[in-house]
A and B are shown apart, each in its own frame.
Chain A
Amino acid sequence: MFAQGACDISTESQSAFAVELRGITKRFPGVVANSDVNVGVRGGTVHALVGENGAGKSTLMKILYGMQRPDEGTILINGEPVELHSPADAIDAGIGMVHQHFMLADNLTVLENVVLGNEPRAGLGLDFSAARSKIRDISARYGLGVDPDRLVDELGVGERQRVEILKVLYRGARILILDEPTAVLVPQEVDELFGNLRELKAEGLTLLFISHKLDEVLSVADDITVMRRGTTVRSVAPGEVTARQLAELMVGSALPVPELRDSTVTDTPVLEVAGLTVQAPDGRTVLAEMSFTIHAGEVLGVAGVEGNGQAELVEALMGIRTPASGRISLLGKDITKLSTRRRRSAGVGYIPEDRHRQGVLLESTLWENRILGHQTSRPSVRGPLLDRAGARADTERIVEEYDVRTPGIDVVAGALSGGNQQKLIVGREMSGRPVLLIASHPTRGVDVGAQAAIWEQIRKARAEHLAVLLISADLDELIGMSDSLSVILRGRLVAEYDPGAVTPEQLGSAMTGAAGEVS
């Protein structure tokens, strides 16, 4: 599939691949890892690696960064075969990784973070001045605009990411792996990042960009390799394909679109929240005077950068966290003082943000997990006793209806992939006909097929008068699935939008607080 001339060690020409992966195979118990993966990355380009969650992109990058050894296959850097036993080997080979989750110490300055683990020694002390000027140098050369003496704590998300990039460059990387770099950014920050990437490319660096956001890939990449189910299926140039074609390559079939059909909103209020205030244990106000109403058949979407009070809102509504003040009513009944169990019995379904923490018992079987959160209701429980037959039968139903890929319901939940765990959770929470569904990132980490199924189930339940609070980081999902849309910022609902008219950019501005006015 790729040029064979790359083996010639002496050539340093632009046409040679800076990175070539040949026949990489990695087996893990139970997971689709990599099988016969072939990627060629031309030097001085941005090469995008796209694929769904679980397609094997992350595994491949871990192999390239020396975090995992391939079972078969070779890695060539600038035409030379290399053995990477650890990230240190990869760094020596000029490969750097910008992680999706930043690995920065908040209470240190940019300078200290950059030199951490690679401190410039001068006798017994540290030579910060040389490091400082080197950082200034790199920052200026690539237009990163990073001030070495600022505290990381004071930096925004986009700036932190540039610090990560700088850290990698400081260690002499010429090949950068960016693992879903845009996942944590709002649209404006994404544009800035892409500006930086173009500068890096212009300076001759090679960038491997992992993403599943196709518009971004098409706008920034020079070459695109598509992965599906652990293997590379096609290499394409961005000019040859549309986003839709690319997506279909990724999925192997046609795509679902998040959209609601006719409005099903009624005027029966299901959830009424008035003046809800929540304080953190240290007394900080994390949710301030929040008020909103969700009606039967209505989906209220809440957009926001993570950490602006979404988790606290959800936990206060579920009765996991006690609010300082305010009132929560369900179908006109005050539930502010009710326990989590009573709220669940009253018909509140809950899809938690962190499924391992709150959604499943990893060491329990699927049918036991069916009982979790529904310990007071049939068919899994009868009075004080468990109804094993009932629970098992209903688990079979969920596995069937939600396409949970599992050999049976007696395997432990921890043996399933994240997407399949999520399908089980959604199926469980939608059973027992809830009146209100609190859904935090309901389709995070699931494949496209499951995403479509989950959306369809939410639509169906909404048509039958389910009220939904939808919290998501996926702006397309929010815009497509919501009847009304609010933006949460620093513990307050700061803006309301009509999902039919709003653009992701407008939402992005409101999420960062750049535009405060209500449209």
Chain B
Amino acid sequence: MGRLSPRAIYLGLAAPAGALVFALLVCALILSVTGHPPLEVAEAMVGSLERPRTAANSLNSATTYYLSAVAVAIGFKMRLFNIGVDGQYRLAAMLAAALAGTSFMDALPSFLRIAMTIAAAMLVGAVWAGIAGFLKVTRGVSEVISTIMLNAVATALVAFLLNPDRLAVTVAGSNNIGTPTISEGGRVPGFGYPGSSSDVFGLIVLAALVGVVYWFMLNRTRFGFDLKATGQSESAAVASGVNVKKMVLASMLLSGAAAGLVGMPQLLGASYSYALDFPAGIGFTGIAIALLGRNHPVGMAFAALLWGTLDQTSNVLDLSGVPKEIVIIMQGVIVLSVVIAYELMRRYRLRLEQRDVGRALGTAREEVHQ
């Protein structure tokens, strides 16, 4: 990353902004075709955001989405497609919840309990992703295939373990089952949001920290340099002395560890147990957000916020008789148009730079020439 010139910033923002406008237009078109006035729908959604509860929930959704996006982005930077974040975080959350809910944990100080829970989740996520990494470096199995299959295995494994005979208990007053409830000392208190009944996840701090670590690793460390180099050109990385197999394994482990964190804000800040109704599918949302945020730590934060807000404000639509699915359509269109816009922008930017070089040489030529 070079120094930021005004042009670089402008070009960086033009693509997502353009894609967003385009997606809005598409949605407006769909709404009007289906007989819903687009402006009223937009007004309803924006209006609902003024309710503190919706705003707080948007931040909470964004927190988990962001963690998921970072997990995906670590792989993306190496051109590795970790489609398995979903399975990794669910398995990690379930096992970490089971650990945090055991009674012997009650005796430990709160900080240690939380740290152990989070560490366990990272470990489980890393191991689960590591299987795919191991298969890739030893047997050449495509990580796309293996992580997708590991998602299915994780689903089955969670279903198997989440059984009253094994790790689960029935939740009082319902026929839901889940891991034992984590007692007070193992929870992470939230931040109150004025006027809202739900708190903002305390672990939003963790998400921010993960973002900083991710940025630091990519831009300031040798490891991050090797990672990016491998992603850009494997052959050049090999010639420069990068051990690609090691890098594949390391980045899968890191990606999995980050994936393990995805379920933590929800588990330690709201659910306090892993039950059948624990949110699923966040791993796939993370792919969309990583794409939208271009694997950039700040870009992904904005993308996660946008996504979370769209999700939460869509709840109001059912009340006004508009199908909520319009938001899913919008999210889909955003991702598609953003991917296209980035590619166009990448080419345009390269052309601009070549022109700059050409211009600089055109003027420099006279001086250089003896």
Contacts and interface: CB of A to CB of B under 8 A. Distances in A.
A143 interface: no
Given A252-B369, A405-B361, A414-B350, A359 B239 contact: yes
B299 to A, nearest CB: 17
Interface string B216-239: 000111111110110011011011
Given A415-B350, A415-B354, A364 B228 contact: yes
Given A29-B358, A229-B365, A344 B241 contact: yes
Q: Interface of chain B, helix or strand or loop or mixed?
A: helix
A385 B221 contact: yes
Contacts of A416: 357
A375 B225 contact: yes
A470 interface: no
A415 B233 contact: no
A493 interface: no
Interface in A247-299: 252-253
B240 A405 contact: no
B2 A410 contact: yes
A368 B350 CA distance: 17
Nearest to A371: B225
A28 B200 CA distance: 54
Given A30-B356, A411-B353, A357 B225 contact: no
Contacts of A411: 2, 353, 356-357
Nearest to A30: B354
Given A344-B241, A411-B357, A360 B222 contact: no
A384 B222 contact: yes
B239 A373 contact: yes
Nearest to B226: A375
A420 to B, nearest CB: 8
B51 interface: no
A352 B238 CA distance: 12
Nearest to B216: A385
A345 B352 CA distance: 37
Nearest to A367: B2
B360 interface: yes
Interface residues of A, number: 51
B221 A340 contact: no
Contacts of B228: 364
Nearest to A343: B241
Given A364-B228, A385-B221, A372 B243 contact: no
Contacts of A384: 221-223
B352 to A, nearest CB: 8
Interface string A379-394: 0010011101000000
A509 interface: no
A318 B239 contact: yes
Nearest to A363: B232
Contacts of A222: none
B240 A372 contact: yes
Interface in A182-222: none
Contacts of A31: 354, 358
A471 B132 CA distance: 41
Contact of A376 (B238, B241, B351, B358): B241
A358 B235 contact: yes
A357 B243 contact: no
A339 interface: yes
Given A357-B236, A358-B236, A386 B354 contact: no
A405 B223 contact: no
Interface in B338-357: 350-357
A483 B357 CA distance: 38
20 contacts: A28-B358, A29-B358, A30-B351, A253-B369, A341-B243, A357-B236, A358-B236, A358-B239, A359-B236, A363-B232, A372-B229, A375-B222, A375-B225, A385-B220, A386-B220, A386-B221, A386-B225, A407-B356, A407-B357, A410-B2
Question: What are the nearest 4 A-B pairs in CB distance?
Answer: A30-B354, A341-B241, A410-B2, A407-B360
